Amino acid sequence: MSTAPAAGPGRPPRRIGPFEVPAIGLGCMNLSHAYGVPPAPDAAGRLLLTAVEEGVTFFDTAALYGFGANEELLGRVLAGHRDRIVLASKCGMTGVDGKRVIDGRPETIRRTADEALARLRTDVIDLYYLHRLDRQVPVEESVGAMAELVAAGKVRALGLSEVSARTLRRAHAVHPIAALQNEYSLWSRNPEEGTLAASRELGVALVAFSPLARGFLTSSPPNLDALPAGDIRRAMPRFDARHYPANLALRHELDRIAVAAGLTLPQLALAWVLSRGPHVIALPGTRSAAHLRENLATLDVDVPGEVLDAAGRVLNATTVHGARYHEATLTEIDTERCGRAG
C-alpha cells in the first residue's frame, strides 16, 4: 500500500500565518550568494520579474545573502510589485567585516530589521525569520525582540530557520510562529525527526529550503571539477569525491523513476516534498527561467503515491552518502539529526 498521498494537479494555495501562497515559492539566495559567481544584477532582476509573471508570490531573502546585496536586489526589482507578493527575509546571521556572524541579541535584531526595511524598499516585511539560533542568547529573547517588531508594524509574521521541534515550541510560546524553514528533500530528512510533526500540530508552515538537494536533483547535477572557488558545495561531504559517485548512482535510479512516470527529476523531487503534508511549502532557487517554469509545472502534474514512495526508498537519510555539513557547521545548527548522514 502507498504511504504517500498522490500529488495532484492544480494544488490549492497553502498558508503561512495570515498569507496564502502557491505551494512553490522562490528562494533567492543563489542570485547573490553561496553558489559560485552570482549572475549579473540585470540577469537576476529579469529572473525575479519572470517569477512574478509566472505566478510566484512568495519570495525569500536574508540579510546574509550577499551581505545585504540580495535584499537590495529584491527591493529594487520587486518594489513595484509589492502588493502582489509575500516578502520574507531573515535576521540573526549577517556579514560582519566579510565574515558570517550569528548574532541573535535583541539590539542586533532591531538594527538588522531597520537595515532590511531600507534595502527592501518597504515599510513592512511580511515574514521575518530568525536565521539561526544564537546559542549564547535564549531563543525567547531573540523572538521577544522580533515580537516587538510586529507590535511596531515593521513585521507582519515571524519565522524560525534551522531549529529543532523543542526550540520551535519555546519560541511559539513567546509569539506565534508562522513558518519554520528547514532543509528538506529526498536526501535531507531531518524534519522527519520532529519538526514536520511539531509544525503541523502548531499550525506552522514548514518551508523546505533546498528541496532539489542543492542542485543535485536538477536536470544537470553539479560537475565537481567545474564548481567555482567559494561555492559552498565544495565544503559539503555529499559532494566530495568520497561520496559523490555513490550519490550519483542513486540519482540515476531516481531519474529512471521520474522518466517512467512522465516527469522530470526536479518535478519528482518537488512533488515528493509537497506530499509530506499540506503545511509544507517548497522553496527551490534557480537562475534559469526555463528551470523556474519546470519547477512551477510541478503544481499541475499528477504523481501517484506509489511513485513518490519509490523515490523515497531510493534516496533517504539511510541511503545517502555523506553528512549534510561538516561537523563544525553542524554544531551551529539546532535541527535534529537523522540517519547516518547527520
Active centre residues (catalytic): 65
What is the arrangement of strands in the sheet containing 58-60, beginning at the earlier edge strand? Answer: 26-27, 58-60, 86-91, 125-130, 155-161, 177-183, 205-209, 280-283
Helix (H, G, I), strand (E, B) or coil at 45: helix
Residue 6 to residue 111: CA distance in whole angstroms: 45
314: exposed, middle or buried (Cβ count in 10 Å: 0-12, 13-18, 19+):
middle
Task: Please give the Cα distance from 76 to 289 (Å, whole number).
Answer: 19
Set of cell numbers at residue 318? 539511510
Q: Which three cell numbers stand for residue 128?
A: 521575518
Per-position DSSP letters for 243-301, written without gaps between them: THHHHHHHHHHHHHHHHHTT--HHHHHHHHHHTT-TTEEEE---S-HHHHHHHHGGGG-
Cell numbers representing residue 173 in the block: 510560546
